[in-house]
Amino acid sequence: MWFVRFVTSSIGKKLVMAATGLLLFLFLLTHAAGNATIFMSSAVFQDYADELHSHPLIVLVFSSALLAVLLVHIGVGLYLFYENRAVSNNRYVVSKRVVKNSLASATMPYTGLFVLLFLVIHIFGFTFSPKDVPISSTVRDMLSNFFYALFYITAFIALTFHLSHGLWSMLQTFGVNHPRYELFIARLSLVLPLFFFLIFGGIAFYFMTGLGANY
Amino acid sequence: MSSSINLTLKIWRQPHSDALGSLETYTLDHISTDMSFLEMLDVLNEKLTKEGKDPVAFDHDCREGICGMCGAIVDGVAHGPEKEVTLCQLHMRHFKSGDTLVIEPFRSRAFPIKKDLLIDRSALDRIIQSGGYVSVNTGGTPDGNSIPIPAKQAELAMDAAACIGCGACVASCPNGAAMLFTSAKISQLALLPQGQVEGKERALAMVAQMDSEGFGNCTNARECEAVCPKGISIRNIARLNREYLTAVLSEG
Ligand code: HEM
Ligand code: FES
């Protein structure tokens, strides 16, 4: 069947990575927007959380779909990583990468796995937090712990690297590469990940440093 | 004015495909800086032959950068340190006296080593055979200008057609992928009206062949483009991705 042939081909797998990556990216946008309410006040954030959870079905459908997308992204990503290692591990006595700034592309599986570790801890900490404590307090209490917040910030640095190659790579995989948009895409691949870093990292920083003591 | 340099070479020696290989060290004095890299290897081979030793096997043909036969990894970089040259067009003036050069064959799971620096690149030929041509019968010789093609389009097709199939892209790709090669061979036809007729079948067949040869999966690391002696752009890979996606969604 054409679909099986498609998803098992090398380019098909790349397109699956790119499509699921795009969906995860869109999720990050909504998540960043929602969480930014923290900078307003605990009340605004609590309102947002209560409003969201007053529609349990939306949350259920949305998070199940997100989980499926994430699992496909991670599964295919690790499969590609495994396949490529079998082809190319330690080929040369002397090897040198010619491309500058290859750090983000060379570390994709590792930054991705670090984000996965973060996600597991993040979900256990917040999604499955005790129901009798308001989420706005849980967030403050958890992130006021210096090392917990530091771990968050480290994970966001990994995410920034992952997305900086990911965004460009996704567009290339979709076939979007044209001289007219080259500079724009290069800037976008820097600015958007940094934007996420500012919002998500900013929240951790806010509580870690005590700036948000009376939020 | 020509001057000469002294070199230490560490060259991958492997008697045949199934043998274990290793780096052998040779010293070579008074190499003229006007020599090409292959001429330097010729000097070494003459010396080895006179000493009754086995000369280093390496591929070459035109020695003017157009046939795609030559190539080796020099100090970790395909075709050596200069940009956009093949090994045969790399000159010894780019090296200093006293340099130690490590010379290894192009490696990929799909490129078995035949002997020393000599590899079997027929996997690339099989990708071409699977669809990298135009097979529409046109009857008698058509008039040269019967199908107008915009100059820009023709130039892009020519840029893709500059690929000489040396395999440096595969050898340098961290994943051993053959995407730059395949994308150039698809683009040179997909950009022209004559090639578009069979465009979809071609994209499907060539990608299927590429996958079955045991090349890796592209992760957009861009190393291929950086070492390509003909400056083939990864924009061709983006085009291949588009060609493949439209073909898979609408063909058959
Ligand atoms: C949770 C664990 C994750 C793992 C293990 C992971 C792993 C990977 C791997 C191995 C690749 C392929 C890299 C390549 O082609 O060189 C990739 C690409 C990508 N990832 Fe992730 N990732 C994770 C999370 C995320 C998240 C949370 C996002 C976005 C919010 C994301 C967005 C992307 C994008 C846009 C790409 C580029 C797709 C392409 O290759 O064209 N990833 N990821
Ligand atoms: S020998 Fe022909 S390209 Fe080098």
* pLDDT higher than 60, residue B1: no
* pTM of the predicted model as reported, rounded to 2 decimal places: 0.91
Select from A87, A102, A106 the Cβ nearest to the Cβ of B176.
Answer: A87
CA separation, residue B101 to residues B2, B28, B47, B73, B76 (Å): 21, 11, 18, 10, 10
Query: Does residue B69's CB lie within 6 angstroms of at least one atom of ligand 2?
Result: yes
Taking residues B90-106, what's their average pLDDT?
96
Based on the domain organization, do B99 and B133 belong to the same domain?
no
Q: Using the 3D structure, point to which of B69, B94, B115 is the last residue of a domain.
A: B115
Based on the domain organization, do B101 and B173 belong to the same domain?
no
Based on the domain organization, do B108 and B131 belong to the same domain?
no
Check residue B11 and give its pLDDT: 98
Select from A96, A173, A176 the Cβ nearest to the Cβ of B77.
Answer: A96
CB neighbourhood size of B1 (10 A)? 4
CB neighbourhood size of B44 (10 A)? 20
Which is the closest atom of ligand 1 to the Cα of A25? 30
CB-based contact B218 A10, cutoff 8 Å:
yes
By CA distance, what is A167's nearest residue in B?
Answer: B220
Which is the closest atom of ligand 1 to the Cα of A18? 38
Nearest CA to ligand 2 atom 3: B65
By CA distance, what is B251's nearest residue in A?
Answer: A2
The pLDDT profile of chain A, 215 residues, written as one tens digit per residue, is 888 989 999 999 999 999 999 999 999 999 999 999 999 999 999 999 999 999 999 999 999 999 999 999 999 999 999 999 888 767 899 988 888 777 898 899 999 999 999 999 999 988 888 888 889 889 999 999 999 999 999 999 999 999 999 999 999 999 999 999 999 999 999 999 999 999 999 999 999 888 877 77
Query: Does residue A104's CB lie within 6 angstroms of at least one atom of ligand 1?
Result: no
Based on the domain organization, do B59 and B180 belong to the same domain?
no
Based on the domain organization, do B101 and B128 belong to the same domain?
no
Based on the domain organization, do B147 and B241 belong to the same domain?
yes
Query: Does residue A166's CB lie within 6 angstroms of at least one atom of ligand 1?
Result: yes
d(CA A143, CA A152): 9
Q: Within 13 Å, how many C-alpha atoms sit on residue B229's CB side?
A: 29
Q: Average pLDDT, whole number, for chain B?
A: 95
Structural domains of chain A in order of their starting residue, each with its CATH number = 2-208 (1.20.1300.10)
Q: How far is B174 from chain A (nearest CA, A)?
A: 6
Specify the number of domains making up chain B. 2
How far, in Å, is the centroid of ligand 2 from the Cα of B146? 35
Range of the domain at B141: 122-251
CB-based contact A14 B237, cutoff 8 Å:
no
DSSP label of B163: -
Based on the domain organization, do B136 and B246 belong to the same domain?
yes
**Cα–chain center distance at B233:** 14
Based on the domain organization, do B139 and B63 belong to the same domain?
no
Tokens standing for B162? 């500059």
Based on the domain organization, do B110 and B220 belong to the same domain?
no
Q: Using the 3D structure, point to which of B64, B90, B115 is the last residue of a domain.
A: B115
Supply the CATH number for residue B214's domain: 1.10.1060.10
Check residue B199 and give its pLDDT: 94
A99 in contact with B, Cβ within 8 Å: yes
**Which of A98, A111, A174 is the best mutation test for B, with the most CBs of B within 10 A?**
A98
d(CA A54, CA B199): 53
Asked whether the beta carbons of A33 and A42 are under 8 A apart, the reply is no
Based on the domain organization, do B79 and B174 belong to the same domain?
no
ipTM for the assembly:
0.90
Check residue A91 and give its pLDDT: 86
pLDDT band at B138 (very low <50, low <70, confident <90, very high): low
Based on the domain organization, do B95 and B137 belong to the same domain?
no
Backbone phi, then psi, for B40, in 5-degree steps? -60, -40
Based on the domain organization, do B84 and B170 belong to the same domain?
no
Supply the CATH number for residue B105's domain: 3.10.20.30
**Which of A93, A107, A167 is the best mutation test for B, with the most CBs of B within 10 A?**
A93
Q: Using the 3D structure, point to which of B89, B115, B141 is the last residue of a domain.
A: B115
